[in-house]
Structure 1
Amino acid sequence: MKTGNAIFSCASNLGSIEFEVLNPTRDAEFIHGWISKPYAKFWMMGGYSKIQVAEFYKKHWSEPGNGAYVGWMQGKPAFIIEVYDPGLNELAEHYESAAGDIGMHILLAPNESPVAGFSSVAFYAVLKFLFADPKVHRVVVEPDVRNEKIHRLNRRFGFQHTGPVDLKEKTALLGVCTRENFQIACDNPSREPVQRIAASPIGLQAWDKVNRLLVRKCLAELLHERVLKAEVVAEGADNVAIFHLSSADGTVDYVFAGETLPLDHYLIDLNSIRRRVDGLDAPLDALAFTSEFYPQMGIPEEKLSVYLEEISATLYSSLNKHKPGYLSAEQLCSADFQVLEAAMTEGHPAFIANNGRIGFDAEDFRKFAPETGASMRLVWIAARRSRAIFSVSATSSYESLLASEFDPSALQDFRQQLRALDLCIDDYWLLPVHPWQWTNKLVQMFAADIARQDIVYLGESSDCYQPQQSIRTFFNRSQPARHYVKTALSVLNMGFMRGLSAAYMQVTPAINDWLYQLVESDDALRQSGFRVLRELAAVGYNSPEYARLPDNKNPYRKLLAGLWRESPVSRIEEGQQLSTMAALLHIDPEGDSLVRCWIEASGLSTQAWLERYLNAYLTPLLHCLYAYRLVFMPHGENVILVLEDHVPVSIFMKDIGEEICLLNSERELPEQVARISVQVPEGHIPLSIFTDVFDCFFRYLSGILYEHCAFSPDDFWRCVARCIQRYQAQHPEYSALYAQYDLFAPRFAHSCLNRLQLRDNQQMIDLTDPSKLLQFAGELENPIYPFREVTRTELASEIEQAV
């Protein structure tokens, strides 16, 4: 009998599948009925009584690494699975077991009323259930060698058979399925056993939830940026106020409760938000909110439809992040680097419409959206060298790049393909292409180049890649130590068409070499553990037709380029964990915080943990600013944390070529690096900390620590002030710059990100002049200003005691 205590659920076109722990006493009744039938002969329990069945599963549960579960569909038991540690039984003698392996047996319910696709749906759900545990890397099976039905099912879902093995009770066909191979099997539409996402129904409850979350974000961010202004209608306890907001025509009202934290950060109670239209209660709807307030938001009418499409796509993405089977914050606490990457809910927390991806259809979303965690293969082409530009780091070469990124057999295959066309591989550069870009843009737009054999299609990569939060960058899941690959992707996402310019990429390796040498030669940066992930090589193709377009910023000149970036995987020590810094802002669908889980697991106090993080992240940014006037785009997606025992100890900075600047610097630079030197108003220089760090990241982290760890905003900003004071005390040589770019000023200019996107959602900023298009809304009170003297005194006392 079903208990209702589901530990996992999985949607399918046959209905929801729920997993419960198998209860030996309760479930022996139906299991006995199943195993007594001829179809279950390979289960080898045909002669068991009900009591023997119950005793078997009691014993099974008592042994280390074992478990058993029941899968329920439509209120009936549909299958049972047994799991075990294959490294602890006789199977370990027949294959090389590893941490993260789990063995599995499955028995389906009797097929009394055949349902098309039932076995595939059940098998898919079981593997989703097993791989939902981030500690599981491979599933191992050993069915009877005669069981052809289960062999076909295994192969269909990515199992690779390694040959028959003789076990005590049977000759088995050993099979192993990695997480990556399962993803690949599911990403092939011809194999997809469940209803495809393009046609799957959207539940009203889930839709209401993601709309409520996005409306809260609309309110919080538009009030923060002073785009909208709400009236305080009542003051409550604990600094909570009741706010009221009306549309310009007065027909729509919003009422909500919340606190206002430093930096005008609105901490809004999600369940308090109410909407009334013409005096009547109405459901929360992010699209309706945008339509109701777009004149006040400053959205040009000609841009409104595109912004609404971005809002719709952001809601659709949020649905995927909140679907059943998500990993909780507790589960993510020790998760794999790429499991964390796929689980993130907020890469860019300030932007309201941050998952537009205009150009993707629902099937593209399923295959290529980062939050699906799907593995994919890149397309490789050969681009004629006379039409293409290749550049590489001084520490590398084209030949060494190919040797590190491809198996010899793959390169030989490419060579033979070209030779079959009477072409020579030495006349071409190999270039990675996003599959969407190839199908939707290049095949048609570059048809002339393909006909001339200036571009030759070589096929898909043998390695599997996982899309990162930045959507056009890919991590190599097959060979994690191999480089990231970044490709052009002509979809509109968060204010930009995500192309890559061949001309712009040409100097990227030189810029990365320059920065790498600077970082490696600086004692303070090396001592802080600050490192960069270099973009070591870049390649781009110039079609003669599109290359004639006069504007270098034209998206048609950014259709075909790629670059290779170092992976951090081989650069960390044993026992260290990698994570996107966006994880610090992650709130799981149940409302729990990942940073809370990390702090709890570390055994440190919140303050001690925060101080370690600030030392790893903020201190090197301060040094780059004051020692070199060098600034980055240091948001959560661009920073990779290195953690030990759940505590940040250092960071990697990435996205170097496009997003670093030397501000108002007189430093002489090599010609290929000169573009990073930018002149901006002097008052904009400290905004690299005030806006990019304080307002766009710490503001959210402070709120999360307040809500989830009871760590007050005052305590948070006091820690930040102490970190800055400590750095300044250690580097008195920059004292004149501390006054010139005063991070303890009482106020700073309020630079607004959503105002950029609302003004022009297709070109928010100009990378060649990052200050030109900035949008300001007065000033913000500096949250560390009140602690400027207190922390200086505390630090002096601390130094005196140490001496």
Structure 2
Amino acid sequence: MPSSDTLSPTLDPAAAHLEPGAMELAHRHLVAKILAELTHERLFAPQAVAGHVDTWVVRTDDATTYRFRGRVHRLEHWTIDPASIERRAGAELVAVDALDAVVDLAPTLGIPDALLPVYLEEVASTLQSAAWKRRHHRLSSADLVHADLPTIEAAMTEGHPAFIANNGRIGFSLEDFAAYAPEAGATVRLQWTAVRRRLAHLSVGHGWDEASLWAHELDDDLVAGWRELLRGLGEDPDTYLFAPVHPWQWQHKLAVTFAPDVARRDIVPLGPGRDDHRAQQSIRTFLNASDPARHYVKTALSIQNMGFLRGLSPHYMRPTPAINDWVAGRVRTDPELQACGFDVLREVAAIGYTGGAYQRLPQSSPHQKMFAALWRESATSRLRDGERAATMASLLHRDAQGVSLVSQLVAASGLGAQEWLARYLRAYLRPLVHCLAAHRLAFMPHGENLILVLRDHAPVRVLMKDIGEEVAVFARPDDPEVTMPDDIARIRVDVEPDLQVLSILTDAVDGFLRFLAAICVDDDLIAQDQFWMLARAVLEEHAADHPEIADRLAELDVQRPRFAHSCLNRLQLRNTLQMVDLADQASSLIMAGELANPLAP
């Protein structure tokens, strides 16, 4: 007869976080977000429960109800207590489950039936990640006040604040998650390859060439060894370029999907590099943990995540360094932006494989975006004495006990919350408005795309990243005020000022400051009206300092009473495989009326 030990359940250590306690907390947190963000996007409207303060109910088409406690802030933003959520099927109390919530609400959400399973899979993966963090993350917000950039990146729990399914990562196994997810904090050695020069391109920005790039990123003896390996294969090393690859991408895509190219030695595997890297919040971008002065590396990663397959197009990458040079030239010669300390982390080089059969196909496909990479300036290399870097997303972070990092930073700085936030808004909001008004430049300024530079735990400046894929210049092709080389003309976008201003009002105000304001109000750091008064003061100070662009500021009218309500989750719900057409993002937007603008006088 078997012993009791034999009958005891044994868990795969990699799945130890998939247990009821951690998963219930993950479900409740995500259902709270579903209710909050889809209410914000006006897909349904909670009804107040009579006789109960701050208590609300949502009824679905199939008579399921969700009852909860919540507060409503400016911009129709909801903060919902996850522990208060009750789900009932008729009169019966049933489990709070994020996948069930999506199914309950599916008729209202309008997800195409054929794509609903994909969205559910992204939600399930997001739950898996949340449960892992619940079990493994130990650092408190007080600990993170003193942490370095890699530690802060790994400690983040939320992902994109607006998107519900924000940790999809369809394609990752549990082992892949532990090895490559930013929250796992594991070190990674990139896989390096040699690619035939005639079947690839390497583009470099101002101040760089091929030799200086390899000298900066790779040890001389490592390169010498690779060249000798190529000679041993009967190949001329001078006819090859070196390209970094995400290890997952090599194992799951290049070595299989490009097997003929590898066999022809158009792609030659060289093995892992020497430097340890750490994944940033954007998952396919790595910082160098062995030598922080070396560049960040962004790689193609063909997993489904947050409404996209995360590939990189070789053709799209080609002009990236030139785009970054042009943008950096504008930013780094503007006295206002220099006074604010605002700068960009230039993408100084890009490489892409343009050989093989897939690139010859007339129809664009994910197979054409499986092999490309870029190198970006390191934030650490841009720090001055006494400065520390953190992803700006960390300002929205709460630890396992619910303590916000921003409250701990304010306390550690010795400044009052009002002064701390005023400094932050001058560093973040003012340069964004100036770029749009003075240069017609718009970025994608959500938390993961900015590095916050702190001194004595207070903000002093911000560094913008992800320039090549996200930047836009709002100008007509014949606009004499904006001249640019033909090879970077793809960043030129001709839309009306009412859409241009959404790069501030949607992306910065509704997309980030909405969440930060609610945290500060809920934590009693500052009153709601005070927060937005500080933001208005930043805009008014900027306008007073720049009468030369008064007409342009009036045209944009950032302080208009209302603005178009652009909805992010609706984009993903409409098409869970590709939210927007990257070549024409403005036409992909989904609006839900207008929002009252908290920046209005």
> What SS does structure 1 have at the residue aligned with 2:495?
coil
Q: C-alpha distance in 2, partners of 1:503/1:385?
A: 15
Q: Is the 8 A contact 2:17 2:132 kept in 1?
A: no
Query: Who is 2:431 aligned against?
Result: 620
Q: TM-score, normalised by structure 2?
A: 0.96
Which of these residues, 216, 222, 225, is aligned with residue 404 of structure 1? Answer: 216
Which of these residues, 744, 751, 769, is aligned with residue 584 of structure 2? Answer: 769
Tell me how far 1:344 sits from its aligned partner.
0.7
Tell me how far 1:642 sits from its aligned partner.
0.5
Tell me how far 1:758 sits from its aligned partner.
0.4
Q: Is the 8 A contact 1:446 1:543 kept in 2?
A: no
Q: C-alpha distance in 2, partners of 1:784/1:683?
A: 15
Q: Is the 8 A contact 2:141 2:408 kept in 1?
A: yes
Residue 222 in 1 paired to residue 33 in 2?
A: no
Q: Give 1:495-506 correspondences, 5 Å limit.
A: 495-506=307-318
Q: Give 1:115-514 correspondences, 5 Å limit.
A: 197-200=13-16, 202-234=18-50, 240-250=53-63, 252-514=64-326
Q: C-alpha distance in 2, partners of 1:781/1:753?
A: 18
Amino acid at match of 2:469: E
Tell me how far 1:336 sits from its aligned partner.
1.2
Query: Who is 2:507 aligned against?
Result: 692
Runs in 1 of length 4+ with deviation above 6 angstroms? none
Q: TM-score, normalised by structure 1?
A: 0.72
Query: Judging changes above 3 Å, is the alpha-carbon distance between structure 1 residues 710 and 574 closer, same or farther for their aligned structure 2 residues?
Result: closer
Residue by residue, what CA displacement relative to the aligned partner does 1:526-582 show, whole Å, maximum 9, x if unpaired? 111011111111010023310122134x11100101111010112111111100000
Q: Is the 8 A contact 1:235 1:241 kept in 2?
A: no
Residue 643 in 1 paired to residue 454 in 2?
A: yes
Query: Who is 2:420 aligned against?
Result: 609
Amino acid at match of 2:486: E
Query: Who is 2:377 aligned against?
Result: 566
Residue 740 in 1 paired to residue 551 in 2?
A: no
Q: C-alpha distance in 1, partners of 2:525/2:460?
A: 23
Amino acid at match of 1:311: V
Q: Which segments of 5 or more consecutive residues in structure 1 lack a partner in the other structure?
A: 1-114, 116-193, 789-803
Tell me how far 1:199 sits from its aligned partner.
4.2
Residue by residue, what CA displacement relative to the aligned partner does 1:250-305 show, whole Å, maximum 9, x if unpaired? 1x111112121110001212222111112111121001101111110111101100
Query: Who is 1:540 aligned against?
Result: 352
Q: Is the 8 A contact 1:223 1:229 kept in 2?
A: yes
Amino acid at match of 2:142: E
> What SS does structure 1 have at the residue aligned with 2:50?
strand
Which of these residues, 579, 589, 605, is aligned with residue 400 of structure 2? Answer: 589
Q: Is the 8 A contact 1:501 1:560 kept in 2?
A: yes
Amino acid at match of 2:553: Y
Q: Is the 8 A contact 1:619 1:727 kept in 2?
A: yes
Residue by residue, what CA displacement relative to the aligned partner does 1:566-616 show, whole Å, maximum 9, x if unpaired? 101121111111000000000111100000000000011110000000111
Query: Who is 1:530 aligned against?
Result: 342
Identical aligned residues as a percent: 49
Q: Is the 8 A contact 1:197 1:363 kept in 2?
A: no
Q: C-alpha distance in 2, partners of 1:358/1:210?
A: 18
Q: C-alpha distance in 2, partners of 1:445/1:767?
A: 24
> What SS does structure 2 have at the residue aligned with 1:620?
helix
Q: Is the 8 A contact 2:158 2:397 kept in 1?
A: yes
Q: C-alpha distance in 2, partners of 1:577/1:195?
A: 40
Q: C-alpha distance in 1, partners of 2:311/2:33?
A: 28
Residue by residue, what CA displacement relative to the aligned partner does 1:719-778 show, whole Å, maximum 9, x if unpaired? 100000010010011111222111121111000000000001111122221211100001
Structure with the larger RCO, 1 or 2 (CA within 8 Å, 6+ apart): 2
Amino acid at match of 2:401: E
Query: Who is 1:580 aligned against?
Result: 391
Q: C-alpha distance in 2, partners of 1:417/1:397?
A: 23
Q: C-alpha distance in 1, partners of 2:276/2:474?
A: 39
Query: Judging changes above 3 Å, is the alpha-carbon distance between structure 1 residues 340 and 290 closer, same or farther for their aligned structure 2 residues?
Result: same
Residue by residue, what CA displacement relative to the aligned partner does 1:311-370 show, whole Å, maximum 9, x if unpaired? 000001111221145200011111011000000112310000000001111111110111
Q: C-alpha distance in 1, partners of 2:50/2:278?
A: 49
Q: C-alpha distance in 2, partners of 1:198/1:752?
A: 36
Q: C-alpha distance in 2, partners of 1:438/1:352?
A: 29
Query: Who is 1:132 aligned against?
Result: none
> What SS does structure 2 have at the residue aligned with 1:743?
coil
How many residues align? The count is: 589
Q: CA RMSD in A?
A: 1.4
Q: C-alpha distance in 1, partners of 2:136/2:341?
A: 38
Query: Judging changes above 3 Å, is the alpha-carbon distance between structure 1 residues 601 and 201 closer, same or farther for their aligned structure 2 residues?
Result: closer
Q: C-alpha distance in 1, partners of 2:213/2:187?
A: 23
Q: C-alpha distance in 1, partners of 2:261/2:535?
A: 55
Tell me how far 1:521 sits from its aligned partner.
1.1
Q: Is the 8 A contact 1:317 1:355 kept in 2?
A: yes
Residue by residue, what CA displacement relative to the aligned partner does 1:633-681 show, whole Å, maximum 9, x if unpaired? 0000000010000000001100000000001342121012211101123
Query: Who is 1:152 aligned against?
Result: none
Tell me how far 1:197 sits from its aligned partner.
4.3
Q: C-alpha distance in 2, partners of 1:353/1:338?
A: 24
Query: Judging changes above 3 Å, is the alpha-carbon distance between structure 1 residues 731 and 589 closer, same or farther for their aligned structure 2 residues?
Result: same
> What SS does structure 2 have at the residue aligned with 1:256?
strand
Q: Which segments of 5 or more consecutive residues in structure 2 lack a partner in the other structure?
A: none
Q: C-alpha distance in 2, partners of 1:498/1:374?
A: 20
Residue 631 in 1 paired to residue 442 in 2?
A: yes
Q: C-alpha distance in 1, partners of 2:163/2:530?
A: 27
